[in-house]
Every structure is written in structure tokens, then in C-alpha cells.
Structure 1
Amino acid sequence: MLPTLRSACPRCHKSIASPLAAVVVSRGYSTALSNHDEDTDYSESFTDIVGELKRRKRKADSKRRQYGNTFVDHILVTVRGGKGGSGAAALQATLKGAGPSAPCGGNGGSGGSVYLTTSPSLSSLTTLKKRVIGGQGSSGSGAHKHGKRGQDVMITVPVGTIVKEIRREGEEERTIREEEELDLTEDELKMRKWKRWIISHPSAGGEVSFQEYKDAEILLKKEGRWKVLTPTFDQEPPIELDINEPIKEPILISKGGLGGLGNPFFNSPRIASRGFLPPIQTFEFELKLLADVGLVGLPNVGKSTLLRGLTGKKAEIANYQFTTLNPQIGVVRVFENGKWSGELNDGVEIQESLLEREIEDLSRTLGEEFPDIRNKVGGGRNDNVEKIRFTLSDNPGLLPQASENVGLGHSFLRSIERSPVLVYVLDLSKDSPINDLLTLKNELESYKAGLSDRANIIVLNKADQVEEQIGKDRIKEIREAIGEKSDIVTLSGKYNLGIKHLVNLLVEKVGTARANATIEADEKRKIKETNTKEGNSFGLKRLEV
């Protein structure tokens, strides 16, 4: 295979096809692209791995800020339903001397709730705020007018998000804890609670008798509104959601507080009750992308180039490490005639992104038509029948100790954890690609047991840069190490050589994975139907229309 790759390689052709290409070569872009400054020259012979990874993390973060990249796959969000409005202590207007006024205060409106839903247009948790609070209910008013309900708030996340409730604390528990530190007497504690939950008519001047407070407490206890404690995780299990499919109906995760009662409810027309403040909940949102195929490899092995060749997605490509800072997903559409949507002509070179932009700028300057170097030959919308389509994720390069979350380790590994098909991408031009393979397998297995077994396709990229015998020796070494359980594909992603064999393998693996997933889903559904229904987690239920 290697001689074929080298003989078909356009790098060996000395002729220059167009005047524009001659201008590009004359300007020396090929050498300029390889001469990077010290900040972007990543040496592979470093000894302080942890220090080097920290430096690369700072570099990656700097690039994110520079290019406005705001991909987020993990965030903690504080959620609270809206506070209920207070009831009104209002009196009807009467003629002078007509006797005492009748109570006419309305109840307070309930607070708005917080719901969770999904959107197919989202691929990151960037849109999430760190604090989400439902709308506050309006207070009641005179003439028996009840307060307006608070506005509901919707949290929208992409499919593939895992939601876990990690903390929950109510207002009553928080107040009790604070009062214990004040060392108050029992009477003082009782008075503080009365004033906290009961409001009075302005005519009372803030002075309410002991009996009025006592009667109000008895009535609120009958309604279950006096001592409302938030259930602990032992009493009500925390909310845990694994969103692996679109949510059809929004899910309630934090309910709004009840509104207070107006003065017609109480014996004394001078008092009403306040609205409830819902508990504060802290949720952990973790995004694990749902791509059918995940590319796994060290930095600068050509994963983004493969993404272009397979999907046509214009990913950023450059000859230095950490070009890809965030996961990128493309769609591969394979047709019945064997072609695919991102297919290029054999031997067409996929240029680096910087060079593409330079060529485009030169073409504008010279007034020439911008050459379409991609020159796709994949089937169009109407000339072929689609056989299968699947998603492909190009993930940032892994490094040693990524499983220990050094550098951006867990952030990268999280994006490939859910892909049913994983592909190792190795650089065949390196001195020891077998060591890179062992590093990748070790990091995947250390992060999650069994994850490395999911990768049974090994892509040896950059075969155009290797002499025939050297390449064969390295392939033999890899085959001896892994045995016959994995498929090895030798190709040149840059020149679109050997891609067809990879596409055929991916079609086979994805079809098998989907069939297994369907069987597993049916088994889970049967188990769920046979189990007895238990109570929902705290606040967890569908939106009732």
C-alpha cells in the first residue's frame, strides 16, 4: 500500500498547475508555515510532563480567548424557583360610622418554576447561566385581588447532557442554622419566626398582639404552611438525568414557592402571611457529546484533516499542536454507490487553513477566481440514494496523564466517552507510533475501564511522508502488539488516499453499534415496565399543561 500512496502523492510532482500556485510558492508559504516562534514550537523531548501540560493549558486558554471560542462542557448552576408573593392585609372602604371594615386582601401569586428542555441547535453549555431563578409571584391586593403567578424559566441544554443535583438547602434550615449561632431564648426565636412569616396592616403600626400571632400560627399549621422543611437527599433522592434523546415535554427541576394568604383567611383582619422562598439547589451540568464515531489521538496527527476529508466540514488545520481546542462534529453521508458527502478527488491536497486564506487573499488581489481545492466528488442531493449517515467527532489531542485531569484531560476525554465507535489516529511518520498507541490506550483505560476496548480501528495517517520499508516495519510492530482484533488502515488524509477503506469500516462498525444499542434499549424498557413505580425525585416531574 505504501508504494501506491507515494507514487500517487502530488508532492512528488514538480509542475505547477496555475500561475496563482506559482505566486504562492514564490512567496514561500511552505517554509513560512513551518517556522513558528518559541511559543508554538512544542518539543516532544521534554522531561517535566506536568509543567509542560500546564503551559499548554495556558496556551489553549489563551487561544480560546483570542479567537472568541466559548465551548463549555461542564458547569455548576445554582437554581431556585421564584419566591411566592405575600398575601394582602387590606380592608374594604366603608362609610364613616358604618362599623368595622371587612377584610378583602387577596392571596399572593405563586413563584415561577424552573424547567429543563433540549435544543438540537446547541452543541455546548455556553448559553447556561450560573444562577437561574424563577420569576417572583406578585403580592395580593385589596378587593380580593390575587397576585399574578411568577414567570417560569426554561433551561435549554444540548442532547447528551448529564444533570446531577449536588446540593439542596431550604430557607427554614438556613434560618435555623443562623439563629443557633445567635444564642437566642425560646421566646425570642418564636417572635422572630412570627415576624418572618406574618405581615400586618399599616393601621397596626407593626404591633400585633401575642394572641393574634398565636391564632395565625395555629391556622398556618393546619394548612401545612408553618414549618416547611426541605427534604434531604436521604428522604428524597437527588435529581439525576441522563439526557440521551430530545426532551418532548419540559422537565420540572425547581418548583416555585407558594403565595401567602390574604387576611380573610385569619381571625384577625390586621394580618396576612408572606410567600414561600423555595430551596436553593446546585446542579452539575456535564456535556458528553453524542457522536457515533470519535477520533482519538495525540496532538498534530491529522484528526482535523480526516474530519475534512470525511465530512467536508471546514475545520481549522495547521502544522502545530493544539490547533483543535474544542470538539468538532461533522456528518458523514454515505451513498449506495459507495461515495460519501465529503469525498474528494484522489490526490487532491487538503491545504492548511492559513495557506487557504492566503491563497484566497491573493486571488482577490490578482482578480482571479478562487480555486476550489476541495473539489468534492461526493453525491449530490438528487443523484444518489443515501445509505447511512453518522456523526464524527474530532476531539482535541490527548497527552500523557490526561486521565488524571492534567491540562485539559477530563475535558477532552469527556467528549469521546459516549461515542460507540472510537478510532485511534496515529502519525506513521513518527519514530515510534506504537508508543503513541500504548499511551492512548492507557489514558482511555485509566479514565474509564473498558473504554479502550471500544477503539478497534487504528488509522495510520501521514503515510505519504514515510519510506516504504520503514512504514512496513512500523505497521508490523503495531500488528504484533495488538493482534488481529483491530483493523489497521494506512492512509494519507492530506492527499485523500486510502480514505475509502476507512469509510467502509466505519459504516460497518456504526451499523453494528446501532443494532446493539437498539437491543439494549429494548431490554431496558422491558425492565422499566416490570419494575414497580416509586416516588419521583425532589421536584422531578413532567410539565403539566
Structure 2
Amino acid sequence: MRIRMLVSHSRRYSSRPTGAQSAEASSSYEIPLSLEEQELRDALFRKRKTDWKRRQGGQSFLDNLIVNIRAGAGGDGCAAFHREKFKPYGPPSGGNGGRGGDVYIQPTPHLTTLSSVSRRIRGEPGGNGQGTWQNGRNGAPLVIKVPLGTVVRELARDDPRRAKDEWEAEQEAYEGLEKEERRKKWRERRWVHYPQYEDDNVERSAFKEAEWELYKAEREIRMQRRQRAADPIFLDLDKIEDTEKHIDAPLGQPRTNHLGHLIASGGVGGYGNPHFLSATNRSPKFATRGYDGERITLSLELKLLADVGLVGMPNAGKSTLLRALTGGRAKSEIASYAFTTLNPVVGVVRVSEDGSFVGGGVEEMVHEETSVEEERDRELMESGAYADVRTRNQLRLDNGDDGASIVETFRFTIADNPGLISQASENVGLGHSFLRSMERSLALAYVVDLSGPAPWDEINVLREELEKYKPGMSKQARMVIANKADLLGGDGNADEVQAARKKLERLEEYVRTNLVVDGRVLDVIPTSGKYSQNLRAIVQTMRRYIEEARATSISGNDS
């Protein structure tokens, strides 16, 4: 009620008096707010912003998307004849149609969400051929940029979400037609006739022979497309492709620009009428049209690449802990209600040689308060206009504005994700969105609320949901962070401090008894993210886990 009264006062007295009443009105209408009232008002505004994000349906962050893709259609060939002075009947001079643009997919580290990817993607069509032997231009390739960690799957033919491919769509257009009508429509889609010669062409033996050759070539294309559909696309875009020129490459060889992985080939362009010139047909008056590009339906699934993932129930203090570990630069939502964090946020921790650390820039940040200019730049970046532009935090680090003078010797990333609840493996709450983002972390850290009645029960729920979602996933857990352990420092009532220490001892006993993975007992580290207590122990422990995981990964790749 007090918060509502504050908001009503601010609305009622926000109008500005004019003239001589200005000074009197300002002195009589202004209501000074105490520090507590200002904090309540700020909390209300933060809650309203988070509620607004909920109502958007997750549009600010997207980690699962179905995309319908069509490569560019080939251009039509041209049926024309050369004409110049004193040569009224020149040779056939129609150009070929250009090839349709291919569609590629490329991972980039400068994107953090799939919201910049359109659900319907169309490649650039090839240009039509023209007279005087002018071939149509080829369509420019289209590159779809997605975040690192995106898994690309082509939907199976029996999946109801899959759109029809180019041949199925054409066959659907012939349904319900008689044989002659179907043949006529097929010819309209395949042939270009010189003006007023269509009826004459279909009666000529040269045209019938060319039509038979086209049919055989088209049957071969259909067989190749069917073979490719039998081996659907599956890509795991977890690293940037190496585009550097090979050291043994010949001198003067131009450097090719890597476009990514080809997922849909453009349609073949049509032939101009010179293609059908023969000894028996000296004046071909027909050309072919271009073919449609490939049509595929892809499932894009984003799995964040973070070294350490924080696993915890709602309001366990994961966002507060992430802010403390990253020096306050990881701006995830913090409030006193459940599901404050709706989208994954990944922050960077930079460690010096002596063990001290400072938070780095946010590598992957989903939502942030921005100015008008920053919001415009963000929209341009997500639309793909300049998706490779460096982020503001990366520019700060390049300019030396990192707020610390330490010499960095080690760096790792920590992911804060939406809270996990019971039945999250059945997609209750924010379950699947949370679990997808945790699947690729090198190590997981359970974050429990030590001030709660039974933090060991929270660990049991977290472990069970991880195992239900993916068997063996709970083995990635390396430590238990007992957050909100403020009373262990001795500040407070003696009975409360003693109760907190007994609760910590019981938690450690539970971990030693029940959380043994491959003969290894998980570490239990009490901390307070709010007051930045015992953070160095967390950073050093995480660093040890990550070094071991990276060394194991390198040795596995070498073998």
C-alpha cells in the first residue's frame, strides 16, 4: 500500500505550474522521500520491468527456433535473336539465367540470442537472361549468423512442423488437375517462348526432343534431392571456423571469405535459346525457365557455452553471486520474488597470478537498460546489419576502462540461468530453457540458500531434475555454494550464528554422504554474494575445475 501511495503522489504532482505560482507550487507539492521509500520505489520499478519482459513472451531472448528457408530461384533464360543494320535475321542471342543465391549458416561470438534470426528466410533470386547474349547475374549468397553454441537440425519428413520442399510444393500445385491441364501448367513453369510462337513450338519435333532431354535432367535432379533428404543436416556450431590462409598456399592466391556451412543450394538458371541451336534447328524460338531453390526447415537450438553454470532454485541468490564475482558488470535482474532472472546471462571473471580477481565485461548479456542511441545500435546489430560489431563492454576493455590494474593470467565464464524447480525436466516453469543452457557447461555449481529451512532438500531436487532431463548430467556438478551465509561471520544473535553453523555442518555431511561422483566428494563453500564474503575461495576452486576439464578436453582431442 505504501508503494502505491508513493506512485500516486509522483503522478499527481508531476505537472509543472507556470508563472508566479511556480515557486509556491514547487515548495508545497514536492514530497521528500526517505532512503527506504526510494528503495521501495526502485524495487517497484524493477518489478514492473521484469513483468513487462514476461509479457513479451521471451522476445528479448530466444534459444529455440523453427526456421523455413528457401534458397534463391534461378533466373529464366531468354529467347531472342540478334538484330542490327543490314542483318534483319541474326542468330539466336538469348542469354542464360543466373543461378539463385545459396544460403549459409555461420556462428559468430557477437550474438547471444536467436531473436535476430527470421523465421522465414529467402535467398536472392538469379537475374533473367537478356538479348545480345547477356546472361543474368547470379544471386548473392545469404549468410545466417547465429550465436556460438547453436545446434542445427533439419526436421524429418514426418515432422508436422516441416514445410514442403520445392518438389512437393510443385506437386501440390498440380493436384486436382486433369492430365492435359497438368501438362500445360508444367510447360508454363518450364519454358519461355518467343512471342506468338508457343503453339507452333509445341508441334515441332525439335521442341519435343528438347522437352524429353529436360525431363531426363529433371529426373536426375529429383533423385539427387531425394538422396540428400535421406541424410538430414546436423551441425554443432560450437567453434569459429579457421579462415586463415594456409602457410603452403601458392603466392598470389586470393584469400577466400569463409561464408559458413551450406544448408540450401540456389536453383539452377534457365538456358537461353542459343543452347538449343543444332544442325536441324537453326532458329530455336524457346528457352527454359530457372528452377526453384532448395527449401528446408531447420530447428535451431541455442546451448550457451559457459565454463561454469550456476544451478539453483529461484531466489537462491545466483544473480547476486554472479554480480559479485564479475565486479558488478553482469547486470542480471535482482529482486525479492521468484523467477527474477528470465534469460541466461554469462559474465567473465579474470584472475591474476596472486589469486585476486576482478569481473570482466559481460560476454553474453540478453537484456540491459540502454539509451536511445544504444538501443538503435542494438537493433541494428541483432538485425544483422553489422552483427560483427564489438559490444560496448568489449570496447571498454580495449580502451583500458576495466576498473582494475591486475595482470590477468586466467579467464573463465560463469552462467546465471533462470531458477530450477521441481518437474523442470517436464518443462514446468522455465525448465527446458534453463536446462538447455546448462547442458554444455564444463562444470556445474549448486547454489543453495543457507538461510532456508533445508538446503539439502534443494540439492536433492536439483540433482533429480538434471538426471531426468539428461542422464549423467548431474555428474558435471563440482561444488556446492552455500549462499546467504551472512551469520557465519559472527554478526548477529549468538543463537542464530550457532544455528547457521550447525546447518552448514549438516549440509557438509549430506554432501559427503550423498554427492559422491566417481569417487570425488563435492566441495562445500559458504559465501555471501550480497556482502562479497569468501568469493576468492569460490574463484580458486572454479579455476581448478576448469583447468582440469580443459586439459582433459585437449588430451582427448589429441588422442
Q: 1:172 aligns with which of 142, 167, 174?
A: 167
TM-fit CA distance, 1:420:
0.9
Counterpart-to-counterpart distance in 2, 1:392 and 1:255: 39
CA contact (8 A) 1:169 1:279 kept: no
What is the CA deviation profile of residues 233-281 of structure 1, one whole-angstrom value per residue up to 9, with x for unaligned ones?
A: 6764111100111134322111111100001112452110000102210
Partner of 1:190: 183
TM-fit CA distance, 1:380:
7.2
**Which residue identity does 1:428 align to in structure 2?**
L
Counterpart-to-counterpart distance in 1, 2:51 and 2:137: 46
- Find the residue that maps to 1:342 and give its secondary structure: strand
1:140-289 equivalent positions in 2, closer than 5 A? 140-166=129-155, 167=162, 169-179=164-174, 181-182=175-176, 184-185=178-179, 187-204=180-197, 208-211=201-204, 212-221=206-215, 224-225=217-218, 228-229=221-222, 231-232=225-226, 236-248=230-242, 249=258, 250-266=260-276, 267=281, 269-289=284-304
1:8-407 equivalent positions in 2, closer than 5 A? 26-29=34-37, 32=40, 62-65=52-55, 70-93=60-83, 100-166=89-155, 167=162, 169-179=164-174, 181-182=175-176, 184-185=178-179, 187-204=180-197, 208-211=201-204, 212-221=206-215, 224-225=217-218, 228-229=221-222, 231-232=225-226, 236-248=230-242, 249=258, 250-266=260-276, 267=281, 269-312=284-327, 313-315=329-331, 316-342=333-359, 383-407=405-429
Is residue 460 from structure 1 mapped to residue 482 from structure 2 by the alignment?
yes
Counterpart-to-counterpart distance in 2, 1:234 and 1:227: 13
**Which residue identity does 2:271 align to in structure 1?**
L
* Residue 443 to residue 278, structure 1, CA distance change in 2 (3 Å): same
- Find the residue that maps to 1:246 and give its secondary structure: coil
- Find the residue that maps to 1:481 and give its secondary structure: helix
TM-fit CA distance, 1:382:
8.4
Counterpart-to-counterpart distance in 1, 2:454 and 2:304: 31
Q: Which blocks of at least 5 consecutive residues in structure 1 are unaligned? A: 1-23, 42-58, 344-352, 355-378, 524-545
CA contact (8 A) 2:418 2:430 kept: no
Counterpart-to-counterpart distance in 2, 1:129 and 1:120: 19
Partner of 2:385: none
TM-score, normalisation: structure 2: 0.73
- Find the residue that maps to 1:290 and give its secondary structure: coil
Counterpart-to-counterpart distance in 2, 1:144 and 1:442: 70
- Find the residue that maps to 2:225 and give its secondary structure: coil
Counterpart-to-counterpart distance in 2, 1:272 and 1:136: 18
**Which residue identity does 2:170 align to in structure 1?**
T
* Residue 278 to residue 61, structure 1, CA distance change in 2 (3 Å): farther
Partner of 2:526: 490
What is the CA deviation profile of residues 341-365 of structure 1, one whole-angstrom value per residue up to 9, with x for unaligned ones?
A: 139xxxxxxxxx99xxxxxxxxxxx
Identity of aligned residues (%): 41
Q: CA RMSD in A?
A: 3.2
What is the CA deviation profile of residues 29-87 of structure 1, one whole-angstrom value per residue up to 9, with x for unaligned ones?
A: 498379979x979xxxxxxxxxxxxxxxxx97742457996111111111111000000
Counterpart-to-counterpart distance in 2, 1:481 and 1:274: 73
Counterpart-to-counterpart distance in 2, 1:272 and 1:481: 79
CA contact (8 A) 2:487 2:500 kept: no
Counterpart-to-counterpart distance in 2, 1:381 and 1:124: 28
- Find the residue that maps to 2:451 and give its secondary structure: coil
Partner of 1:409: 431
- Find the residue that maps to 1:78 and give its secondary structure: strand
**Which residue identity does 1:197 align to in structure 2?**
R
Counterpart-to-counterpart distance in 2, 1:459 and 1:35: 26
TM-fit CA distance, 1:384:
3.6
TM-fit CA distance, 1:228:
2.8
**Which residue identity does 2:506 align to in structure 1?**
E
CA contact (8 A) 2:83 2:89 kept: no
TM-score, normalisation: structure 1: 0.75
Partner of 1:501: 537
Counterpart-to-counterpart distance in 2, 1:317 and 1:73: 22
TM-fit CA distance, 1:331:
0.6
TM-fit CA distance, 1:194:
2.4
TM-fit CA distance, 1:418:
0.3
**Which residue identity does 1:255 align to in structure 2?**
S
Counterpart-to-counterpart distance in 2, 1:134 and 1:234: 19
* Residue 491 to residue 91, structure 1, CA distance change in 2 (3 Å): same
Counterpart-to-counterpart distance in 1, 2:112 and 2:181: 54
What is the CA deviation profile of residues 400-456 of structure 1, one whole-angstrom value per residue up to 9, with x for unaligned ones?
A: 111111232101111111001100000011111111111111111111111112112
Partner of 2:555: 519
Counterpart-to-counterpart distance in 1, 2:441 and 2:232: 27
Counterpart-to-counterpart distance in 2, 1:503 and 1:253: 41
Q: Which blocks of at least 5 consecutive residues in structure 2 are unaligned? A: 1-31, 156-161, 243-257, 361-367, 370-400, 489-495
Counterpart-to-counterpart distance in 2, 1:103 and 1:414: 60
- Find the residue that maps to 1:437 and give its secondary structure: helix
What is the CA deviation profile of residues 485-542 of structure 1, one whole-angstrom value per residue up to 9, with x for unaligned ones?
A: 111011111111111111111011111111111122223xxxxxxxxxxxxxxxxxxx
Counterpart-to-counterpart distance in 2, 1:241 and 1:513: 23
CA contact (8 A) 1:85 1:136 kept: yes
Partner of 2:503: 474
Counterpart-to-counterpart distance in 2, 1:226 and 1:61: 56
Counterpart-to-counterpart distance in 2, 1:389 and 1:165: 35
**Which residue identity does 1:28 align to in structure 2?**
E
The one of the two structures with greater contact order (alpha-carbon pairs below 8 A, sep at least 6) is 1
* Residue 427 to residue 332, structure 1, CA distance change in 2 (3 Å): same
What is the CA deviation profile of residues 162-195 of structure 1, one whole-angstrom value per residue up to 9, with x for unaligned ones?
A: 111115744333333443x41633x544343223
CA contact (8 A) 2:59 2:115 kept: no
**Which residue identity does 1:453 align to in structure 2?**
K
CA contact (8 A) 2:419 2:430 kept: no
**Which residue identity does 1:239 align to in structure 2?**
I
TM-fit CA distance, 1:137:
0.5
CA contact (8 A) 1:168 1:232 kept: no
CA contact (8 A) 1:78 1:281 kept: yes
Counterpart-to-counterpart distance in 1, 2:123 and 2:203: 35
